[in-house]
Amino acid sequence: MSPVEFWFDFSSGYAFFAAQRIDAIAADLGRTVLWRPYMLGTAYKVTGARGLSSTPLKRDYARRDWARIARHQGLTFQLPADHPHVALAATRAFYWVEPELAAAFAMRVFTLYFNDSLDTASPEAVSRLAPDFGLKPGALLAGIADPALKEKVRRIGEDAVARGVFGSPFFIVDEEPFWGWDRVEMMAEWVRTGGW
């Protein structure tokens, strides 16, 4: 049984909402979740697209929509004043932390970014999460500065884009791609029924 691959950028509001539900939804399906942060900019280089927050009209719509989804789901959601951050430090830290602690670490990053403006671009800010996971901030800082780790993270993103991943959230399960927070139900139906 293949896992549900959950591709996302830590600065994606829609990924934040998907992250709240994906473990439970996958568990219902008898699947695990493979959390896979990557830099959306890697996809933008191929698609020529821009982030929602850099796009007139879509920017305003997305902010209204995120607030609406948060109210609907009873979630606290407070966009950082300088959203979006380029979450490279947080993404590298995720891959340094994984596998055991990775999902919990990702949820912590999401919550702190979208509730308390964690600077996901700052190695120092991200390193301060380490003690909550029994890790040392200095070790995390050194780990995410390691060229081999940086290269690994870059390659993971490029390999994903080469497989057709271009959005956030973006799911792949049983080789089938699903783009968007609003497609989680269709993905679940696909897995339950074996596809159509």
| Least spacing, CB of residue 86 vs a second copy, in Å | 20
- By beta-carbon proximity to a second copy, the closer residue of 43 and 106 is 43
Nearer to a second copy, 123 or 157 (CB): 157
- Give me the least distance between CB of 38 and a second copy, in Å please: 13
Cβ burial of 47 (10 Å; 0-12, 13-18, 19+) is exposed
Given the rule CB under 8 A, which residues bind a second copy?
Answer: 43, 46-50, 55-58, 60-61, 64-65, 68, 71-72, 161, 164, 166, 177, 179-180, 182-183, 186, 196
CB of 55 to a second copy, least distance (A): 5
Closest approach, Cβ 41 to a second copy, in A, equals 14
Nearer to a second copy, 103 or 184 (CB): 184
In terms of CB distance, is 55 or 131 closer to a second copy? 55
